[in-house]
């Protein structure tokens, strides 16, 4: 129960209790699972663009033509990998192709720090246009960012590839719990694993074992593609049977070990009929007994902010109930629990869950509720056998309004209306009930009530703004529920809680044309009457019940009976579950890890060449030294014989770094550039001497002399000019 701040004072209470979902929940972490993985081998994504660093330095010495050569001499990465995903023990191949003229030197740096050296598990293969780093028997510590630094004559460029090392996930953190037990069906729900193995959970395998025969049967699979953390077992269950269940989590790397096994589950042969409340009781908490003195406690039905809810049966009558065991450790929690029980005593209406008994002893506070077997309304709606139409939705909204009208007539506000608190009475019918009055408050005449709790997607602007709340505050939430029910879209869902709350206070929303294509104008008018920022202008419960969309619903001619799209509701539910199972937390952790240096880094966050560790910086700097070489002729000059008047080209190819200076000699004297004599030195190191209109006097020995700080080289040829 909430700690309620009364009066005008705007003191923020310490029990700030927005249902916190991870702010990272909807940010998409770099998700290796999107990359298909086969047999533990790595896979990669290609980027569209290459990246070059801007760390070029001028060569210490240049020939006349060096400027021209430099323009075309940058390193350009070609279609490089962005990320590689590999299972633990697999082999990762990080491959980078590049174009560069002239010789190159390169090195790989891990996480900006460590120079990758060849070793028993590490192999680096370099060519003049590529470098491949092969890591075998990959370990989790190998994960991270690998940057290839490539140095050529003109400077250094680098490219970073992220290596994700993934493992199968941990098993689900809890055993599967059973709810909605009938004689032939049940619903299992469990918690996601504590560690997802470094790759998002892709689904669950649900397994069953039969126990009521002479020997327990083998475990068999009920489903190997369960997407959520709950699963409805509809068929194959014998009403006389006894079963046990367990679950495994899957990610791109494989399947986890099984979770702990559930308790032995006996099918509920008593059926569901006994759960209907026939008469309302005034509950006086029992302070001398414990709940277990009177009830058998069975499986967990749900976990909430205030404690855990278990299925129970009364020892004498056999009546099935739900027991809410409060987490009442400190006095504030105890007060809240007692307040909820007290409030429930006033709420006697067929659309509201009924309190049947309560236990309040120093060691526990337990509220016994009527057992509602049908599960969450939205879960029912997405069921394949269920027809989801606008008239059906009217039927649910009317029931919600009837229940809320009753509590509003008592001046009580629910303050936590959201889909998961609307549940179905049984597995087949269309009756619903409202549960969870844990945040409900009574309005005292003449007093302003301010609260700071609720669930961001469903709270009204006045809650977010910490302004006075009243009955209209629930009406806003009913508007949000109706919007989602008809479209599957959540009108104020942002990427983070902060964004959601900002969207709520802005009260800016619209009917997405695509999602509301098949929805009648009356329905839209109904929602528009509820989602109003000024709470004074919102429809009251009474007015909402009188709205034509609700009041004239029997006149089915005016309503579309077209089936509404369930996929978006499915996605909505999956997102809610995802938030609950703590996967959001995992994703958040991964993002935090990613922002640290010990973890996979998005290649989009490029390595800052100026922020390298000492060792890495030295390695990159030494690439320049590795490039150094004295001049060397790859192709020497050839002797030539040509006729007088012709144009000849004497060509040779040269390598060396720093760029050699080139001098041409004719009969030992340096040649000068003239209109007839041209010298060229291109980016590939080709030196060409062109002589136009040769004369007999041009006959002789031509030498090309190259020199740099490391040495010199020379090649020569004879030109013979024929008359
Ligand atoms: P929260 O506010 O976090 O939703 P809470 O602590 O107020 O949780 P409830 O919503 O009352 O707790 O109960 C938690 C879950 O237990 C419900 O979502 C539902 O699945 C299950 N549950 C509660 N009451 C009943 C009931 N009467 N019959 C069957 N299941 C129930
Ligand atoms: Mg609840």
Least confident range from 113-127, 202-216, 548-562, 674-688: namely 548-562
Q: Give the domains, in start order, of the chain with CATH numbers.
A: 4-74+627-722 (2.60.40.10), 171-271 (2.60.40.10), 276-371 (3.30.200.20), 380-580 (1.10.510.10)
* 1 Cβ below 6 A of ligand 1: no
Q: Is the CA virtual torsion 391, 397, 398, 400 positive or negative?
A: positive
Catalytic residue annotation: 416
Least confident range from 149-153, 162-166, 424-428: namely 424-428
* 375 Cβ below 6 A of ligand 1: no
pLDDT at 596: 34
Pocket test of ligand 1: the residue of 190, 301, 337, 441 to mutate, having most ligand atoms within 8 Å of its CB, is: 301
Contacts of 56 (CB under 8 A, 6+ apart): 74, 154, 155, 156
**Percentage of the chain lying above the pLDDT 90 cut:** 49
Q: How far is the CA of 452 from the centre of ligand 1 (A)?
A: 20
* 569 Cβ below 6 A of ligand 1: no
* 438 Cβ below 6 A of ligand 1: yes
Among the bound ligands, name the one nearest to the CA of residue 355.
Answer: 1
**579: confidence class by pLDDT, cuts 50, 70, 90:** low
Residues marked as binding for ATP? 324
Atom 23 of ligand 1, residue of closest alpha carbon: 309
The three-state secondary structure class of 225 is strand
**382: confidence class by pLDDT, cuts 50, 70, 90:** confident
Q: How far is the CA of 277 from the centre of ligand 2 (A)?
A: 21
Nearest Cα residue to 377 out of 437, 419, 426, 428: 419
Q: What is the mean pLDDT of residues 279-307?
A: 87
Q: How far is the CA of 435 from the centre of ligand 1 (A)?
A: 7
Beta bridge partners of 226: 204
Among the bound ligands, name the one nearest to the CA of residue 423.
Answer: 1
pLDDT at 174: 79
Atom 21 of ligand 1, residue of closest alpha carbon: 302
Nearest Cα residue to 546 out of 524, 526, 560: 526
Q: How far is the CA of 154 from the centre of ligand 1 (A)?
A: 68
**536: confidence class by pLDDT, cuts 50, 70, 90:** very high
The three-state secondary structure class of 221 is strand
What is the pLDDT of the chain when averaged over all its residues? 81
Q: What is the mean pLDDT of residues 461-473?
A: 92
* 413 Cβ below 6 A of ligand 1: no
Atom 6 of ligand 1, residue of closest alpha carbon: 304
Pocket test of ligand 1: the residue of 300, 421, 436 to mutate, having most ligand atoms within 8 Å of its CB, is: 436
Least confident range from 196-205, 512-521, 544-553, 597-606: namely 597-606
Atom 1 of ligand 1, residue of closest alpha carbon: 304
pLDDT at 581: 52
Q: How far is the CA of 247 from the centre of ligand 2 (A)?
A: 24
Among the bound ligands, name the one nearest to the CA of residue 306.
Answer: 1
Q: How far is the CA of 528 from the centre of ligand 2 (A)?
A: 26
Among the bound ligands, name the one nearest to the CA of residue 19.
Answer: 1
Give pLDDT tens digits for 392-444: 999 999 999 999 999 999 999 999 999 999 999 877 778 999 999 999 999 99
Atom 10 of ligand 1, residue of closest alpha carbon: 436
Q: Is the distance from CB of 484 to CB of 382 less than 8 angstroms?
A: no
CA angle at 71 for the pair 70 and 75, rounded to the nearest 5°: 80
* 301 Cβ below 6 A of ligand 1: yes
Q: Is the distance from CB of 133 to CB of 152 less than 8 angstroms?
A: no
Give pLDDT tens digits for 55-99: 233 333 333 343 344 444 578 899 888 889 898 899 999 999 999
Atom 16 of ligand 1, residue of closest alpha carbon: 302
Q: What is the mean pLDDT of residues 517-525?
A: 94
Contacts of 469 (CB under 8 A, 6+ apart): 413, 415, 441, 449, 450, 451, 460, 462, 463
Q: What is the mean pLDDT of residues 599-608?
A: 34
Residues marked as binding? 324
* 304 Cβ below 6 A of ligand 1: yes
Specify the ligand 1 atom closest to the Cα of 307.
6
Q: What is the mean pLDDT of residues 517-534?
A: 95
Residue 454 has pLDDT above 90, yes or no: no
* 84 Cβ below 6 A of ligand 1: no
Least confident range from 50-54, 636-640, 641-645: namely 50-54
Least confident range from 525-534, 600-609, 664-673: namely 600-609
Q: For residue 352, count other CB atoms closer than 10 A to its CB.
A: 21
pLDDT at 270: 60
The three-state secondary structure class of 580 is helix
Residue 577 has pLDDT above 50, yes or no: yes
Q: Is the distance from CB of 5 to CB of 452 less than 8 angstroms?
A: yes
């Amino acid at each position: 129960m909430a700690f309620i701040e009364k009066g005008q004072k705007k003191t923020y209470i310490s029990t700030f209790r927005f249902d916190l979902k991870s702010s990272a929940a909807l940010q998409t972490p770099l998700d290796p699972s999107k990359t298909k993985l086969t047999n533990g081998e790595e896979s990669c994504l290609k980027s569209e663009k290459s990246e070059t660093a801007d760390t070029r330095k001028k060569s210490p010495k240049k020939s006349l033509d060096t400027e021209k050569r430099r323009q075309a001499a940058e390193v350009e990465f070609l279609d490089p990998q962005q990320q590689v995903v590999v299972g633990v023990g697999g082999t990762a191949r990080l491959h980078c192709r590049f174009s560069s003229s002239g010789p190159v030197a390169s090195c790989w740096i891990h996480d900006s720090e460590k120079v990758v050296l060849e070793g028993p598990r590490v192999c680096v293969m370099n060519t003049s246009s590529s470098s491949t780093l092969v890591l075998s028997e990959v370990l989790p510590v190998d994960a991270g960012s690998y940057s290839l630094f490539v140095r050529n004559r003109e400077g250094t460029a680098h490219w970073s590839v992220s290596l994700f090392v993934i493992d199968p996930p941990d098993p689900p953190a809890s055993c599967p719990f059973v709810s909605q037990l009938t004689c032939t069906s049940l619903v299992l729900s469990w918690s996601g694993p504590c560690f997802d193995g470094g790759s998002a959970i892709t689904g669950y395998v649900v397994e069953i074992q039969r126990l009521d025969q002479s020997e327990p049967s083998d475990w068999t699979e009920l489903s190997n593609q369960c997407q959520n953390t709950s699963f409805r077992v509809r068929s194959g269950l014998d009403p006389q049977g006894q079963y046990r269940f367990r679950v495994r989590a899957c990610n791109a790397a494989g399947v986890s070990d099984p979770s702990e096994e559930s308790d032995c589950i006996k099918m509920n042969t008593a059926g569901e009929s006994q759960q209907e409340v026939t008469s309302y009781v005034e509950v006086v908490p029992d302070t001398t007994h414990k709940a277990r003195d009177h009830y058998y406690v069975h499986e967990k039905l749900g976990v909430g902010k205030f404690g855990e809810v278990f299925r129970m049966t009364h020892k004498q009558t056999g009546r099935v109930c739900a027991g809410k065991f409060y987490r009442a450790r400190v006095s504030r929690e105890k007060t809240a629990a007692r307040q909820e029980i007290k409030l429930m005593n006033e709420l006697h209406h067929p659309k509201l869950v009924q309190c049947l008994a309560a236990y309040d002893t120093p060691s526990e506070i337990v509220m016994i509720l009527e057992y509602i077997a049908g599960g969450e309304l939205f879960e029912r709606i997405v069921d394949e056998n269920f027809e989801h139409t606008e008239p059906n939705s009217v039927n649910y909204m009317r029931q919600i309004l009837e229940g809320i009208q009753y509590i509003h007539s008592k001046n009580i506000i629910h303050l936590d209306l959201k889909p998961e608190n609307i549940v179905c009475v049984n597995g087949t019918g269309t009756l619903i009930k409202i549960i969870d009055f844990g945040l409900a408050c009574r309005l005292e005449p003449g007093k302003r009530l301010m609260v700071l709790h609720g669930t961001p997607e469903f709270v009204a602007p006045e809650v977010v703004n910490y302004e006075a709340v009243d009955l209209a505050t629930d009406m806003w939430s009913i508007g949000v529920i109706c919007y989602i029910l008809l479209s599957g879209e959540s009108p104020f869902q942002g990427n983070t809680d902060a964004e959601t709350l900002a969207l709520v206070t802005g009260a800016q929303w619209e009917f997405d044309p695509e999602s509301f294509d098949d929805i009648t104008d009356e329905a839209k008018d109904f929602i528009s009457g509820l989602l109003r920022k000024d709470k004074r202008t919102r429809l009251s419960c009474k007015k909402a019940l009188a709205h034509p969309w609700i009041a004239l619903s029997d006149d089915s001619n005016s309503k579309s009976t077209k089936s509404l799209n369930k996929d978006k509701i499915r996605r909505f539910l999956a997102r809610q579950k995802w938030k609950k199972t703590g996967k959001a937390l995992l994703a958040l952790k991964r993002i935090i890890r990613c922002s640290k240096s010990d973890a996979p880094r998005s290649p989009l966050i490029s390595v800052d060449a100026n922020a390298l560790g000492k060792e890495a910086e030295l390695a990159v700097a030494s690439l320049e030294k590795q490039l150094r070489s004295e001049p060397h002729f790859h192709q020497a000059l050839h002797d030539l014989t040509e006729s007088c008047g012709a144009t000849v080209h004497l060509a040779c190819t040269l390598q060396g770094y720093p760029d050699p200076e080139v001098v041409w000699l004719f009969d030992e004297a340096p040649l000068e550039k003239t209109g007839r004599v041209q010298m060229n030195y291109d980016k590939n190191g080709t030196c060409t001497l062109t002589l136009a209109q040769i004369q007999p006097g041009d006959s002789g020995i031509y030498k090309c002399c190259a020199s740099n700080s490391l040495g010199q080289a020379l090649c020569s040829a004879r030109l013979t000019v024929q008359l």
